[in-house]
Structure 1
């Protein structure tokens, strides 16, 4: 039987979650796979315990085991208790009654987690009435109170709205409101800020910390983001391939790491690169003037045009890395598509090597496709799964009738070596590679025609932190070896500071600031640039708390 659990707050530092020797073994296709292997975790009230690791390390499976959500495998442990209750002894129904009341889960993708056909208020009301004896009107009043607590404006009105009517950050706040609705002892936050823009991420982290302080709950934070851990963690465990390789006080682990893997993670920020020598008299290799791109939105009487890119000027010089930074909807990806000729501007001019290639005529496209190539964001979606790596990289050569089949094979082998792979890998298919290897293949394909310019659209945002550093180092090495120019599209200001010669900031389709990297970082002029800079997570443990202070000041 499940021991009775009271929701009256226990003293701070009381152990909420005690895990010793947790093992999770999944079963499928006649095989058993141990994905969590004998880990220990202790979370106390009023504490943030960060479980840090890369994709496939077992972090999320650990969360699912604690929540009782493993249905295709076995969960074993020497100890697995929540506020003194033995979780291993619970039935599925007892686990269901436990969830929300004593432990809640905040998931990464709020849009998928929320029911699209129920209002936000109804979802909170249903949650409360499923676990508590409470009338509908009282539950609705509590829903309004919770929305106000997590910072949703006009909560008495917004309580009737549906998930699609909220922004990504607001939806994440709603998930947090639902998580605290029944005053749980523990919140498990599984990558709660991964899908959010940097300014919204800072706000959500600040909200979680303020709720921890106000309500005294424990938080198990699952993340791959070192900056997030630097800012909020009290305790940290570093997880790799199902095992915890290092654990302890965040102050110690993040400043005096002992395990080589922890050291590798902490050293994963790419090194600073030397700025490219610039000759002011040299004409730009790629030049845009007054570039505009609009899209139709709505239908019928509500139809209108939305300016995705509005009157943008930019120059790119030989050997330069120009970072274009902005949050979702700023227009940076639309601008990238215009620079490589995938979209034609509605107004303005685009010149490549002093030739007008604005209108997307066949001649213009041929010129651009040889000289300007793109590296896409998602290495899983941008490679044809039915083609071998040899065919993928050779495709631009075949499409432009470059060389013979034999010379193309030699060129592919050369390109694979150039990006840190081997010629033998050309016979494999994309699914046989990791995410970082797939992005290297995408870069090799982009280099096939010897372009002068690479336009990289968020090329590392889908990759783990250590792999991200390797791809950044590769791009910088290619710039040095081949003398090419790079347009680096990103939302991560902390990343581009290490690699860019100049930074351009986009906001609502406009380029609001552009300048030398250090000038922009140290002497930003536009308020939006300053807000982006204030939202950068700390890079060292010594800077802990700066993000929260800056976030509250900007609010």
Structure 2
């Protein structure tokens, strides 16, 4: 397994725009090359071209791609179909969106071997079980009988890796495979991916914007910007001696600096959550939901303060934010806001209560109406809460765009014409349009690349300093939370385990689970994952 890959003069266009500009590189058998850069740099576009594929509206306009003895771009459609899933395989960012929910995992994992006629069903299933074992999946003998919704996100990502590896491909493409995972799950998936890639001597391309993850996986790094190569070198050299200013800026953004407002917070209690419990599903006679997510949460947030809430997927972080926002009805306890008890649901809250608490969702793509212009999106809360019309409305829209550092020209554009970072800024502007006292930020940077995410964090800190807004900042990234928050609340399985003040971030001992989360965030240096594995074996 593992074949040389040679790319020469790869040129990809969309209409009159160049997406990848005459790119050339080579990967030796058994090596892992990382493609890094901001959103829109051409990472995924380049990776897909290695399979001879271009997304809708894109054209591979020139160049060559060779995988072993196969000249990928000269193959006819039948030849490319024979190549994909057999000699080159692809592990996508979102496993949940990539599996068929109506078929078992085993059916889908063995499908490539059946399509390409490589082995019979029984042999393929035996090989799948061996891969499940290699990838450290629980109950490898029976997990294939489950459906996609019956396993966790990290498990599903590893099942996708098994599907990609079952045909023993010459090249494996991993496209942001751990971005959507929490830190502890990401660590386990990284371990599994790296072990399998090393043991099988696979040639691999790892697409990511996370340099700390890349440092653990890649032998070489290729830095892309606007479709052009900035530099390519061994991972150690890129991390220690980057040649280009752009690479230096990526490295700087990957090391989050504190962004806490120097003014600190006031003494006025803004939000008082007491004994809060909430869940989903039908309720019993006592009003308890079928699935209890939050259990007896207590939390106080003062005016001007930013509190971070961290924990693994399923810990109850987002449910807490949704309960405060009125999007889910608590089944116990209560929420006091500015000395008044908040009604449990949006429908029961006053217009003024709705205005004072705003939420910014994780996925900017789905939070903005794709058929409305940015001007119309920002105008809606201004009309609803402030009653603005005419010149006053237009003036305030321009002021909001200035606040989030977007040009006035975006007002006439649809969300589809904006980058991920720009869309998230529009989400912030929409929240600010109501002049809220509290903004709930739910994983607002997890889908963004390092540079754009750092810019959004800077913006949040600046708005807090200038407007005195308070934040409840939900995240699974401890480094991000430490950079922007005064205190950190640690959650697991719906319970609040600890609350750590900024002054104590670097002073222990802390709750063991907090320390686990801290240890699980990849460090920006080679060998970190090896050290973690060694430490795990010796404890």
Q: TM-score, normalised by structure 2?
A: 0.89
Cα shift readout 1:393-421 (whole Å, capped 9, x = no counterpart): 33333223546654343333332222223
Partners of 2:279 and 2:289 within 8 A in 1: no
Q: Would you say 1:435 and 2:423 are equivalent positions?
A: no
Partners of 1:322 and 1:501 within 8 A in 2: yes
Which residue is equivalent to 2:302? Answer: 317
Which residue is equivalent to 1:40? Answer: 24
Equivalent position to 1:272, from 239, 258, 262 = 258
Partners of 2:6 and 2:66 within 8 A in 1: yes
| Aligned-pair CA distance for 1:158 | 2.2
* C-alpha separation in 1, matches of 2:175 and 2:82: 21
| Greater mean alpha carbon deviation, residues 492-501 or residues 461-470 | 461-470
| Aligned-pair CA distance for 1:422 | 4.4
Distance change in 2, residues 1:20/1:551 (3 Å): farther
* Superposed counterparts of 1:104-503, under 5 Å: 104-131=89-116, 134-269=119-254, 270-274=256-260, 282-296=267-281, 305-360=290-345, 364-402=349-387, 405-423=390-408, 425-503=410-488
Q: Would you say 1:17 and 2:5 are equivalent positions?
A: yes
* Superposed counterparts of 1:45-56, under 5 Å: 45-56=29-40
Which residue is equivalent to 1:4? Answer: none
Cα shift readout 1:266-295 (whole Å, capped 9, x = no counterpart): 222443134656689x34211111111122
Partner of 2:498: helix, strand, or coil? Answer: strand
| Aligned-pair CA distance for 1:322 | 0.6
Distance change in 2, residues 1:20/1:315 (3 Å): same
* C-alpha separation in 1, matches of 2:4 and 2:373: 51
Distance change in 2, residues 1:294/1:440 (3 Å): same
What is the root-mean-square deviation of aligned Cα atoms in Å? 3.0
Distance change in 2, residues 1:66/1:473 (3 Å): same
Distance change in 2, residues 1:443/1:505 (3 Å): same
Structure 1 unaligned blocks of 5 or more? 1-6, 10-14
Q: TM-score, normalised by structure 1?
A: 0.87
Distance change in 2, residues 1:35/1:143 (3 Å): same
Partners of 2:106 and 2:145 within 8 A in 1: yes
Partner of 1:450: helix, strand, or coil? Answer: coil
Structure 2 unaligned blocks of 5 or more? none
Partners of 2:109 and 2:160 within 8 A in 1: no
Partners of 2:317 and 2:491 within 8 A in 1: yes
Cα shift readout 1:424-469 (whole Å, capped 9, x = no counterpart): 6544443443332232222222222332222211222232221111
Which residue is equivalent to 2:68? Answer: 83
Partners of 2:34 and 2:214 within 8 A in 1: yes
Distance change in 2, residues 1:298/1:206 (3 Å): farther
Distance change in 2, residues 1:157/1:428 (3 Å): closer
* C-alpha separation in 1, matches of 2:425 and 2:100: 38
Partners of 1:534 and 1:551 within 8 A in 2: no
* C-alpha separation in 2, matches of 1:175 and 1:358: 44
| Aligned-pair CA distance for 1:501 | 0.9
Count how many residue pairs are aligned between Structure 1 and Structure 2: 534
Partner of 2:366: helix, strand, or coil? Answer: coil
| Aligned-pair CA distance for 1:203 | 1.3
Distance change in 2, residues 1:259/1:293 (3 Å): same
